[in-house]
Amino acid sequence: MTFDTLIRNGTVVTATDTYRADVGIRDGKIASVGSELPMEGARRVVDAANLMVMPGGIDVHTHLDMPFGGTTSADDFETGTRAAAWGGTTTLIDFAIQYHGQTLHHAFDTWMKKADGKATIDYAFHCIVTELDEERAKEMKQLAAEGVSSFKLFMAYPGVFMLDDATIFRAMSVAADVGAFICMHAENGGAIDVIVKRALAEGKRAPKYHALTRPTTAEGEATGRAIALAEMAGAPVYIVHLSCNEALGRVREARERGLPVYAETCPQYLFLSIENFDAPGFEGAKYVFTPPLREKWHQEKLWNALTRDDLQVVSTDHCPFCFKEQKELGKDDFTKIPNGGPGVENRMSLVYTGGVQTGRFSPNRFVQVVSTAPAKLFGLYPRKGTIAVGSDADIVLFDPEAEETISAKTHHMRVDYSMFEGIRVKGVARKVLSRGEVILERGNFLGKPGRGEFLKRRTHGSL
């Protein structure tokens, strides 16, 4: 058997196993995994000595080229997917937004056009639902069949994205019928709105008030409500960007009762805290995203939950806005600061550093939370999310000993600051293959814009 590419001498790390093996690739797929695979005829031989051979990362929560807060997120599908690949991520799931008065298909078509000709890695979409009449409910079913098998609903941002409980319940009921997956932004938007208005009336306008007006109780309450609605509808639910212990408690309690409840957290909640708002002047705006940063003690609770499988996934919620000109829209009023932060490039290194290098969990658990669980939950497994014969050859050669300091000066995201500036990471993607093609090698990005393919996802699978 001959291979297009043969990866030799590496240590294969999947969500379940760690072993020395070669990986043979043909026609973009993994054709063989075994010891001493034949080199003869291989067009390319890649030496992976001292490297981990892992499935490419899957980031199920990004916002590329997204109009929001009076501006548009700074990375488009070219720059965002390229930055993702620099960090070892080979698949993204982004969000197509149904704005009021529009169909779900209009949202899908719009985001397909944004990605077309630009994406350098494979991508898929969730659809954000902001209105749900009978026709839109039918569209949920159609979209699920067309590969958009998950829908994000908001319990926050009144007047923009927020849905009432009845609409959420109806959407969940449709999802239950068609095997779709509901992703929930769980914060009590009504209560937060009142607190925000009070703060503004008291002249509190600095960035830190974004965090101080969005209490953990608002996230805990909404998480509990989302779970209750999903239980009544008989639907699985996935809580996005979970930031605090209160919300975690609701998820843990539901899972202990055997409910199909899942949740992700993001590196910002694992590494940053409300103390970041102590930064001078308007610098705190760099950390304005929702849910907001919490007190530091929540971090250890989240790490612990990742270890124990109370949390299943780490995504980024990558939604970059430049400090100059974009974040500055809210210079005099924190409610006008576009909500979101950059991170798609840093996820793998940060989670490896904080999770594996600290001894909190194994490299296998790392693979599970950054690749395998996302693939399984969002209908991409086993095409993506593992190293196995027949899977796409989306492979990261990960150097667990390499160290880097995160900085906006060296990152590849199209944004003028880093939320993680100065953090030292140990564990870096050295080489990245997407469907067998080497797209990142020795510090050179080789993937051409437009090579990324849209992935039609199956319906949600269990872990």
Q: How far apart are CA 269 and CA 376, in angstroms?
A: 23
Decide if residue 317 touches Zn ion (CB under 5 A).
Answer: yes
Three-class secondary structure of residue 405 per DSSP:
strand
- Beta strands at 122-128 and 237-239: parallel, antiparallel or unpaired: unpaired
Three-class secondary structure of residue 238 per DSSP:
strand
Shortest Å, Cβ 292 to ligand URP: 9
Nearer to Zn ion, 46 or 153 (CB): 153
Nearer to ligand URP, 290 or 312 (CB): 290
Q: How far apart are CA 155 and CA 222, in angstroms?
A: 7
Decide if residue 252 touches ligand URP (CB under 6 A).
Answer: no
Q: How far apart are CA 48 and CA 382, in angstroms?
A: 23
Decide if residue 114 touches Zn ion (CB under 5 A).
Answer: no
Decide if residue 347 touches Zn ion (CB under 5 A).
Answer: no
What residues between 25 and 54 interact with ligand URP by CB under 6 A? none
Shortest Å, Cβ 188 to ligand URP: 14
Q: How far apart are CA 204 and CA 202, in angstroms?
A: 6
Q: State the maximum Cα–Cα separation within the chain, in Å, rounded to a whole number.
A: 74
Piece in contact with Zn ion (CB under 5 A), picked from 224-232, 273-281, 316-324, 389-397: 316-324
- Positive or negative, the CA dihedral 343, 271, 91, 95 is negative
Shortest Å, Cβ 355 to ligand URP: 22
Residue 230 contacts by C-beta under 8 Å, 6 or more apart in sequence?
A: 172, 182, 236, 237, 259, 261
Shortest Å, Cβ 161 to ligand URP: 8
Shortest Å, Cβ 305 to Zn ion: 19
Nearer to Zn ion, 185 or 298 (CB): 185
Q: Do residues 364 and 18 make contact, with C-beta atoms less than 8 angstroms apart?
A: yes
Per residue, what are the HEC states of 136-203? HHHHHHHHHHCCCCEEEEECCCCCCCECCHHHHHHHHHHHHHHCCEEEEECCCHHHHHHHHHHHHHCC
Measured between alpha carbons, how far is residue 449 from residues 55, 87, 439 in Å? 22, 17, 11
Tokens 């075994």 correspond to: 34
Shortest Å, Cβ 333 to ligand URP: 16
Choose among ligand URP, Zn ion, none what residue 78 binds, the Cβ cut-off being 5 to 8 Å by kind.
none
| Site track 307-336 with ligand URP (rule: CB under 6 A), x = hit | ----------x-x-----------------
Decide if residue 76 touches Zn ion (CB under 5 A).
Answer: no
H or E element that contains 262: strand 261-265
Shortest Å, Cβ 185 to ligand URP: 5
| Site track 274-293 with ligand URP (rule: CB under 6 A), x = hit | ---------------xx---
Decide if residue 264 touches Zn ion (CB under 5 A).
Answer: no
Q: How far apart are CA 150 and CA 287, in angstroms?
A: 28
| Site track 163-192 with ligand URP (rule: CB under 6 A), x = hit | ----------------------x-------
Decide if residue 62 touches ligand URP (CB under 6 A).
Answer: no
What residues between 169 and 188 interact with Zn ion by CB under 5 A? 185
Count of residues that interact with ligand URP, criterion CB under 6 A: 9
Contact residues: Zn ion, CB under 5 A? 185, 317
Contact residues: ligand URP, CB under 6 A? 63, 185, 241, 289-290, 317, 319, 339-340
